[in-house]
Chain A
Amino acid sequence: MSSAAADLSVMVLDRDGKGVREAVVTLVPAVPVAAPSPKAAVMDQRHKAFVPGVLAIAVGDSVEFPNNDSVSHQVYSFSPAKRFKLPLYKGEAHPPVTFDKPGLVVLGCNIHDAMVGYIYVTPAPYFGTTDAAGGFAVKDLPKGDYQLAVWSPYIADAPPSLTRVVHVEANESASVRMQLSLPLRARPEPRPRRRIWDY
């Protein structure tokens, strides 16, 4: 198994060649593989923002919301893939939420309107989000063909242009470079404002 394994690195670049961070990369093999066992992921709350802003998880994974912020939050989503509400009061324990349907879950906070987070629940067996430089790497991939797709709430390019077929040979390091043609959409830049309560 591992002797036929390969590495794949993906670079997602914007129109000007700069790396796009927090873009979800998924790889679906042509030959289906067993689903991975459920894992626990973390989406924190700091400075009235979700951290990370975009989180990719597998169907059946659970997400913990530890709320390391200085204030309480109330996370909710009404996305069809997962409708839930979760009060995150300071000093109280917060149970993790399990996401058992694929799809995009858009998170908000009932107390702080500017907070928005995204949980991308994917059936793909290989996935992750790009780092600050726009790169994502996966090791020990079985050789074969894969459908690669990139998604981000801030990418305006049409989804078909963000998918391609990638062939990975045994014991090789393959790389894919995906460059966007449309400008990125504005990313929220919540600024920690002192004392603001907002009437």
Chain B
Amino acid sequence: MDGDLDVRWVHASGEPSFMNGGLGLTRWDPEHEGIEVGRAFLAPNWRVTDIVSAHAVIDAYGDHDRNPVDLSELYVDIRPFPTNSIRWRARIGAFYMPVSLENRAVGWTDVYSITPSAINTWIGEEFRTIGTELEARWLGAPSGYLGDFALVGAAYGWNEPAGQLIAERGFALTDRPSTLFGDLGSPPMDFYHQIDHNPGYYGGFSWRHHDRLEVRALRYDNRADPAASTQSGFYAWRTRFSSAGARFEPGEHWTFIAQYLDGDTAIGAASDSMNPFEQQFYLTFHAAFALLSFEWAQDRLTARYDDFHTHQLSGPFGPRDQDGHAFTLDWTRELGAHWEFATEWLRVRSRFPPRALLGDPILDTDSQVQLALRYRFTLAW
């Protein structure tokens, strides 16, 4: 079992965060800074048989979520021993889809910075695969090629509110993903419900070359019926996106990552009406980032640039058009086997007209400086 306790000191400037009823794009804001809990998690894993293992991640984020402690992931991993060059692997349960090239550590933690990119922040907030994923990986080593190539596909449900947060707020940069039974933001939104009877799918591929280069691409479509809703008032958002990225690690020290995502989300029945309140709400979005990281001895330095946009094409409460970019700078130092110290400077500049409805400026600069102290442990059982 792995575990982590992360405590912060934060100084933030800008508008109130979406976490606290505003439309600011960072996790903290001037009313919520100082000493804070970053995250505490336990990630037990069990070996059930030689080829079946079970994994869970239990999280506490120390904010006003409805559940102070909640599950983020719970799944079974099945990996039969290969009898030829194809290695099959299945995951069943609730888990993150293989999109991020930044979140590489246990508990979907970002290895390069405290706060992940806008793309991977959003993936962590609105998406969890609750279903079955199958991967077929052609292993090159038996044929003399130091690399592999995989195709992955999944069928899932309960991801139909995905799209509500990006419509409400646009992209953001936080290290506060959603939990399975909790909520995010203020007013609180929760995420993992099935509203109609359509399962969603995603399909993608990954290529790893010489332990140096990894390329991933994925197409996601939750196939929700945007006209559907439940008795209790949950509406289904039809959300689709394509994502592609690459991570290049040429030597021992440098890492370069770039990722791009674009897609759309829609809610409400399609209609020809000229009245926005009768139209389907339809939003397109795209984002990209480039990251450079240098690691030596106990230290790691990371710099990242994010660019993101949303564009509302029809429906009410518009224009929910967001344009923004962000700079992130991180320095992390390992202090022995258990402790880690990290510091991050993050600045997000964005334009989002709906802020005017809250009386906040449409153009906002949210800045955050964080000092994080982390304690990590591993228990064998």
Contact = CB atoms under 8 A, between A and B. Distances in A.
A110 B81 contact: yes
A189 B84 contact: no
A199 B129 CA distance: 13
Give the size range of A's interface with the partner: 20 to 34
Interface in B291-333: none
B142 interface: yes
B211 A189 contact: yes
A76 interface: yes
Contacts, number: 70
Nearest to B106: A197
B210 A78 contact: no
B104 A198 contact: yes
Chain B at the A interface: SS class: loop
Interface stretch (B12-20, B95-103, B170-178): B95-103
Contact of B141 (A89, A106, A110, A189): A106
B137 A78 contact: no
Interface residues of B, number: 34
Chain A at the B interface: SS class: loop
B197 interface: no
A116 B104 contact: no
Given A87-B50, A110-B79, A195-B105, A185 B139 contact: no
Interface string B68-85: 000000000001011110
A117 to B, nearest CB: 9
Given A78-B142, A110-B79, A196 B111 contact: yes
Contacts of A111: 79
Nearest to A153: B144
B342 to A, nearest CB: 12
Given A114-B208, A116-B141, A199-B103, 14 more contacts: A83-B83, A106-B141, A106-B142, A110-B79, A110-B87, A111-B79, A114-B211, A190-B211, A194-B334, A195-B104, A195-B109, A196-B111, A198-B104, A199-B108
11 contacts: A76-B81, A78-B84, A89-B47, A108-B141, A110-B81, A110-B82, A110-B87, A114-B208, A197-B106, A199-B98, A199-B103
Interface of B: 47, 50-51, 79, 81-84, 87, 96, 98, 100, 103-106, 108-109, 111, 137, 139, 141-142, 144, 146, 148, 208, 210-211, 249, 252, 334, 376, 380
